[in-house]
Structure 1
């Protein structure tokens, strides 16, 4: 199985060069440490641009796509709306556990509306746009991704 991942940072300010992206590189570092090839793509908080980045990552062969940012409740937070139509199936338990882990440290993590599921041959997971959310969420994702991808490929429950 290909161990290629893509991290998509969703941030107007980072896309404009007005703010340094800290969460994307943190995710890439954790992925590299676990043997995944990964790099960051930065897009603004725009539904069409987010969806296009997810589609492009899958078309480029990414088997794991992690988005950071745009999962909250502000008017510009549209990552879940961009992601959800691409997922078949949706895997709600992953997003629920990401929120539970985050809320144990920071109650406002419950405001994240991130989703998770399969797009084409990739597991896609939305994380909040902070290094803390990445440090909490990526290890969970790494613990599940091989099993998820094996199941999608018809593998047995080992």
Structure 2
């Protein structure tokens, strides 16, 4: 299995070059340290562009896609709405655990509407758009991704 990952940063300001992306590189560094070939892609908070970035990552061979940003309750936050129609199946337990772990540190983590699930041959997980959320979330994702991908390939429960 190719260990290709994509981190998709969803941010109008970062996409426009008005703000440095801190969460995407944090995620890519953590994934690289865990043995994944990780690259960051930045897109604005636009449903079509978010969905296109996810589809493109899968087409390029990514087996793990982590989005960061666009999961809150702001008027432009659209990552869950862009992601959910692509997922078959959705895996709500991952998003629930990310919120639980995040809320233990920062109560507003409960406002994240992130989703997780399978698109094509990849696990897709939405994380909130802060470096802290990424640092807290990536270990959870890494603890599950190999089992998820094995199951999708027909593997048995270990």
- The alignment's TM-score, normalised by the length of structure 1, stands at 1.00
Q: Distance in 2 between matches of 1:28 and 1:57?
A: 14
Give the gaps of 5 or more residues in structure 2.
none
Task: Provide the secondary structure at the position in 1 that maps to 2:155.
Answer: coil
Distance in 2 of aligned mates of 1:39 and 1:95: 22
Compute the RMSD of aligned alpha carbons.
Answer: 0.3
- 1:2 offset after TM fit, Å? 1.1
* Structure 2 CA distance for aligned equivalents of residues 2 and 89 of structure 1: 22
Q: After the TM superposition, list the runs of 4 or more consecutive aligned residues in structure 1 that deviate by more than 3 angstroms.
A: none
Superimposed CA distance per residue, residues 56-92 of structure 1 (whole angstroms, 9 cap, x where no aligned partner): 0000000000000000000100000000000000000
Identify the residue that residue 115 of structure 1 maps to in structure 2: 115
| TM-score, structure 2 normalization | 1.00
Count of residues in correspondence between the two structures: 158
Partner of 1:134: 134
Write the mapping of 1:43-62 to structure 2, written as runs, cut at 5 A. Answer: 43-62=43-62
Aligned to 1:76: 76
Cα offset, 1:139, TM superposition: 0.4
Shift of 1:99: 0.3
